[in-house]
Chains A and B, each alone.
Chain A
């Protein structure tokens, strides 16, 4: 579904990604793990088009999107739930969700998607008129995920959905990710929570200092000694 071919990218003069390639098959959950500053967020921002590609190419659904604008990529079904939730703090929860269906192509399904979002997260329905900035961390994460689902994604990129959440909420978020996959949404999950992310994944990639150093099925990576030492402290 998504193919990244040997891309390099970065900010200003400093290169962050070196010759990164990965492919995400339709219907799967693919996890991208790595430590802080490994380039994970840079990579997905490049996939979303917020960062320019220096060299290499990106294909989505067989189409070259290397130079497509971020807004047009969303239109194709490539949707990102950014790190730190990035809600619009001074917009109500409902307005945040409605922003998710800003595109004309999904506006027709707005009512239905809104109902689905409230069914999936009843808490958001209770708080629909509250400013998003006043939600708790867990609720903000729910709101951010719900907002992305309003866009009818084909590929959903989740950047650190477990960041800053209490353990019980982390479990809940991972359950929700599984549910989303069942709705035929392909998922790219970026996580520092390596064990959980790989357990869930059909396929995993390890990113270190801007390079892919390992790839394989989630199961395979979870049992790799080097990885266990480096990330799981075992």
Chain B
């Protein structure tokens, strides 16, 4: 049973990883403290739902359409937020406000009902004692694929490298000819696209409702802080920890306690290692002010 739970946790973690890597990107590169990130996840859910109602395309296919929609939403949201860059408190207010606007807009358009997709598959894969549903496996597969693509982009392309550079030193990057504003917008749009994709995939496992964003907002932040602020790799690892944590408590203690347990875990980490689980693992020390060789 334990193995079953851990595997389910990993599968769930793959989707959470998308959300939190997106948030990490938005925070690290665009320098926006985004408390509406979960609501962009929910926009992804409802986009996938609407596409299904209109065209009959299931989320496993429609994610290809949801990504550009989310990018557009992200672009518009950035225009709203860009004046607050550098003012964290204002950003928190504006993004919480945006979160309320999104939740109520969805409420207005779709009513408060829980909406779920009917399962496409009536069986699951059996590997020894472990059952894996096709839904979560497919969602995980797409999440892994996109994550690999994203990491490749970040590490191997000029634009990706510029994003990393901007997150480390904005003005030094502009001295290399990088148009910082353009990179910022792109990173924000990309981060929101990943949130939208996560929403699209989550819809195959969970129901959508207008205020679901609240849960994902905090979840994404917990993961990002656990992984070390602004560190994409750390967020990836932390997502799996939270995913496993969630399935274990869901089974051994009860589904209602899932959040309680990972928040307790979160608080414990903040007390013991406030810089995040993975931020200590750096290959270098900060070299500054040294006078001699």
Residues A102 and B290 in contact in the complex (CB < 8 Å), given A89-B168, A134-B283: no
Q: Is the CB of B178 within 8 A of A133?
A: no
Chain A nearest CB from B131 CB (Å) reads 41
Candidate in B173, B174, B180, B289 with the most chain A CB atoms within 10 angstroms: B174
Closest to B290 in A: A137
Interface string of B254-293 (1 = CB under 8 A from A): 0000000000000000000000000000111111111111
Q: Which of A49, A86, A89 contacts B284 (CB 8 A)?
A: A89
Candidate in B164, B173, B179, B287 with the most chain A CB atoms within 10 angstroms: B287
Q: Is the CB of A79 within 8 A of B175?
A: yes
* Chief secondary structure at chain B's binding surface: loop
A164 in contact (CB, < 8 A): yes
CA distance A20 to B174 in the complex (A): 24
A64 in contact (CB, < 8 A): no
B169 neighbours in A (Cβ, 8 Å): 86, 88
A27 in contact (CB, < 8 A): no
Residues A131 and B176 in contact in the complex (CB < 8 Å), given A88-B169, A102-B162: no
**Beta-carbon contacts under 8 Å, A88-147 to B:** 88-91, 95, 98-100, 102-103, 107, 130-131, 133-138, 140, 147
Q: Give how many A residues have a beta carbon under 8 Å from the other chain's beta carbons.
A: 40
Q: Which of B158, B287, B291 contacts A102 (CB 8 A)?
A: B158
Interface string of A9-24 (1 = CB under 8 A from B): 0000000000000000
Residues A133 and B284 in contact in the complex (CB < 8 Å), given A50-B171, A69-B179: yes
Q: Is the CB of A166 within 8 A of B158?
A: no
Q: Is the CB of B177 within 8 A of A71?
A: yes
Q: Is the CB of B293 within 8 A of A99?
A: no
Chain A contact residues, CB within 8 Å of chain B: 48-50, 69-71, 74-75, 79-80, 82, 84, 86-91, 95, 98-100, 102-103, 107, 130-131, 133-138, 140, 147, 151, 164-166, 169
A82 neighbours in B (Cβ, 8 Å): 171-172, 175
Q: Is the CB of B161 within 8 A of A95?
A: yes
Chain A nearest CB from B216 CB (Å) reads 28
Q: Is the CB of B293 within 8 A of A138?
A: yes
Chain A nearest CB from B162 CB (Å) reads 6
Closest to A131 in B: B284
CA distance A110 to B282 in the complex (A): 29
Chain A nearest CB from B272 CB (Å) reads 24
16 contacts between A and B (CB under 8 A): A49-B174, A69-B174, A70-B171, A88-B164, A91-B161, A95-B164, A99-B176, A99-B178, A107-B158, A131-B282, A135-B287, A136-B293, A137-B293, A151-B177, A164-B290, A169-B293
CA distance A201 to B270 in the complex (A): 55
Given contacts A71-B177, A87-B172, 20 further A-B contacts (CB under 8 A): A49-B174, A71-B180, A74-B174, A86-B172, A89-B168, A90-B282, A91-B164, A91-B165, A95-B161, A102-B162, A102-B178, A130-B283, A131-B284, A133-B285, A133-B286, A133-B287, A136-B293, A137-B287, A137-B290, A165-B293
Residues A88 and B177 in contact in the complex (CB < 8 Å), given A136-B290, A136-B293: no
A90 neighbours in B (Cβ, 8 Å): 164, 168, 282
CA distance A133 to B176 in the complex (A): 18
Chain A nearest CB from B164 CB (Å) reads 6
Residues A151 and B176 in contact in the complex (CB < 8 Å), given A50-B171, A88-B165, A134-B285: yes
CA distance A98 to B168 in the complex (A): 15
Q: Is the CB of B173 within 8 A of A99?
A: yes
Q: Is the CB of B287 within 8 A of A99?
A: no
6 residue pairs, one from A and one from B, having the closest CB atoms: A134-B284, A74-B177, A86-B172, A103-B177, A133-B284, A70-B174
Q: Is the CB of B176 within 8 A of A134?
A: no
Chain B nearest CB from A84 CB (Å) reads 8
Q: Is the CB of B164 within 8 A of A100?
A: no
Closest to B286 in A: A133
Chain B nearest CB from A75 CB (Å) reads 6
Residues A75 and B177 in contact in the complex (CB < 8 Å), given A90-B164, A91-B164: yes
B287 neighbours in A (Cβ, 8 Å): 89, 133-137, 140
Interface string of B153-194 (1 = CB under 8 A from A): 000001001101100110111111111100000000000000
Chain A nearest CB from B215 CB (Å) reads 32
B293 neighbours in A (Cβ, 8 Å): 136-138, 165-166, 169
Q: Is the CB of A71 within 8 A of B291?
A: no
A91 neighbours in B (Cβ, 8 Å): 161, 164-165, 168
Residues A80 and B285 in contact in the complex (CB < 8 Å), given A89-B168, A91-B165: no
Residues A131 and B177 in contact in the complex (CB < 8 Å), given A107-B158, A164-B290: no
Q: Which of A74, A99, A165 contacts B165 (CB 8 A)?
A: A99
B176 neighbours in A (Cβ, 8 Å): 74, 99-100, 102-103, 147, 151
